[in-house]
């Protein structure tokens, strides 16, 4: 069938919205009509050429929501008409990883997903007979996409697509990093670096679990108001700190953060986040993804003296199990999404969404179809 998609033809170039061809779902796959998709910084990371796994031409997008409109042979867990959120971290419930409670990183289809292909090693998308790569197994910058059934979470039908698409990455990543990865206790002092679409969800996760100090750090002064809106108690703009940032934060928190979070993808910030964690027990969680070739460093003494460095993908969430619950939290008013969605645009205007991100304007742009 013909579908409308934003194609990343080359690294560093704007996306091109055009008509491409999509084959129907094969064994174990579903066809989803995408109703909305957010634009996450990771889409920009790949579009820009910074992603070592980036492949072109590809249909990017991984923060979607829509309706199952067709199912391939053998599909049992979802049916036509089901409302779903695509999962870039699938949940097969039978691989070695799914069976280990210590991880959410289902590996059932990871190798083909990383090659921009469906699990059978082929692509469903093409243009003029030439294959286009899938992206993160989701390719939500298209009004229709095909996904393995293990890569969709069924959600309630009264949830608005143009809001809950954000649960497909940003909301779950931020809140999940607090609850699943760090397992933050009530009363903890925490520091969040980078108050964008992910960092603000870390902040609202910290508010949810009853953290004490919630310190937000961002170089964009406009983020002070944003952080406070979701529970931040203190704002620090590194550009306004005299002297080094780390001792400033350690002093502000009375010894360092019990938990610190990097939501920037900048390896220097990751180091500052680790080193501003409390001596003896502070844990620092890396959420941001760093460009090809970038590496983290610190003095081993930082770890010898009890700080812990951890990372998280999709907030440690098991998508088919946890995503429907997070949608319920939103529908029940336990978490906020609406105010973070600062622009809703049409697919034809998708490059404007990337420009807004570059200018640090707004928090999340959502494309509706």
Question: Does the footprint of ligand AHE cover residue 95 (CB under 6 A)?
Answer: no
Question: Does the footprint of ligand AHE cover residue 53 (CB under 6 A)?
Answer: yes
Task: Map residues 97-136 to x or -, x wherever contact with Zn ion holds by CB under 5 A.
Answer: -x-------x-x----------------------------
Out of 289, 294, 296, 331, name the contact with ligand NAD by CB under 6 A.
Answer: 289
Angstrom distances, CA of residue 167 to CA of 17, 60, 134: 25, 17, 20
Question: Does the footprint of ligand NAD cover residue 264 (CB under 6 A)?
Answer: yes
* Cα 217 to Cα 215: distance, rounded to the nearest angstrom: 7
Out of 36, 40, 106, 109, name the contact with ligand AHE by CB under 6 A.
Answer: 40
Q: Is 333 exposed, middle or buried (0-12, 13-18, 19+ CB in 10 A)?
A: exposed
Triad 214, 215, 220: Cα angle to 5°: 130
Chain positions 309 to 338 lying near ligand NAD, rule: CB under 6 A, are 312-314
Query: Any idea how long the chain is?
Result: 369
Residue closer to ligand NAD by CB (options 30, 366) is 366
Q: Which entry of Zn ion, ligand NAD, ligand AHE, none binds 194, CB below 5 to 8 A by partner kind?
A: ligand NAD
Other C-beta atoms within 10 Å of 280: how many?
A: 10
Chain positions 299 to 338 lying near Zn ion, rule: CB under 5 A, are none
Q: Is 128 exposed, middle or buried (0-12, 13-18, 19+ CB in 10 A)?
A: exposed
Angstrom distances, CA of residue 1 to CA of 32, 36, 124, 184: 13, 20, 10, 47
Out of 8, 30, 35, 41, name the contact with ligand NAD by CB under 6 A.
Answer: 41
Out of 51, 162, 275, 283, name the contact with ligand AHE by CB under 6 A.
Answer: 51
Catalytic residue annotation: 40-42, 62-63, 92, 95, 98, 106, 110, 169, 364
Cβ–Cβ under 8 Å, residues 192 and 223: no
Binding residues for ligand AHE, per CB under 6 A?
40, 42, 51-53, 88-89, 105, 110, 169, 289, 313-314
């Amino acid at each position: 069938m013909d579908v409308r998609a934003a194609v990343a033809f080359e690294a560093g170039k704007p996306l091109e919205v055009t008509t491409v061809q999509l084959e129907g779902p094969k064994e174990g796959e579903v066809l989803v009509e995408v109703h909305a998709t957010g634009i996450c910084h990771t889409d920009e990371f790949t579009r820009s050429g910074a992603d070592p796994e980036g492949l072109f031409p590809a249909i990017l997008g991984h923060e979607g929501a829509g309706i199952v409109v067709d199912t391939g042979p053998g599909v049992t867990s979802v049916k036509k008409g089901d409302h779903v959120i695509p999962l870039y971290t699938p949940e097969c419930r039978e691989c070695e990883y799914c069976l280990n409670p210590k991880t959410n990183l289902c590996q059932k289809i990871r190798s083909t997903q990383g090659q921009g292909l469906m699990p059978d090693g082929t692509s469903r998308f093409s243009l003029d007979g030439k294959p286009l790569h899938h992206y993160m197994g989701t390719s939500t910058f298209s009004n229709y996409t095909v996904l393995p059934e293990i890569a969709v979470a069924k959600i309630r039908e009264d949830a608005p697509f143009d809001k809950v698409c954000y649960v497909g990455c940003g909301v779950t990543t931020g809140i999940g990093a607090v609850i699943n990865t760090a397992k933050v206790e009530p009363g903890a002092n925490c520091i969040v670096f980078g108050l964008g679409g992910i960092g603000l969800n870390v902040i609202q996760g910290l508010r949810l679990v009853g953290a004490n100090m919630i310190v937000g750090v961002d170089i964009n002064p406009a983020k002070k108001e944003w952080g406070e809106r979701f529970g931040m108690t203190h704002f620090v703009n590194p550009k306004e700190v005299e002297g080094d940032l780390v001792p400033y934060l350690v002093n502000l928190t009375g010894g360092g953060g019990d938990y610190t979070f990097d939501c920037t993808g900048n390896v220097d910030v990751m180091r500052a986040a680790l080193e501003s964690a409390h001596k003896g027990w502070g844990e620092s969680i890396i959420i941001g993804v760093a460009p090809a070739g970038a590496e983290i460093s610190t003095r081993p003494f930082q770890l010898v003296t009890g700080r812990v460095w951890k990372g998280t993908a999709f907030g440690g969430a098991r998508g088919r199990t946890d995503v429907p619950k997070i949608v319920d939290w939103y529908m029940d008013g336990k978490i906020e999404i609406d105010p973070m969605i600062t622009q809703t645009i049409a697919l034809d205007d998708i490059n404007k969404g990337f420009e807004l991100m570059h200018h640090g304007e707004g928090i999340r742009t959502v494309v509706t179809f």
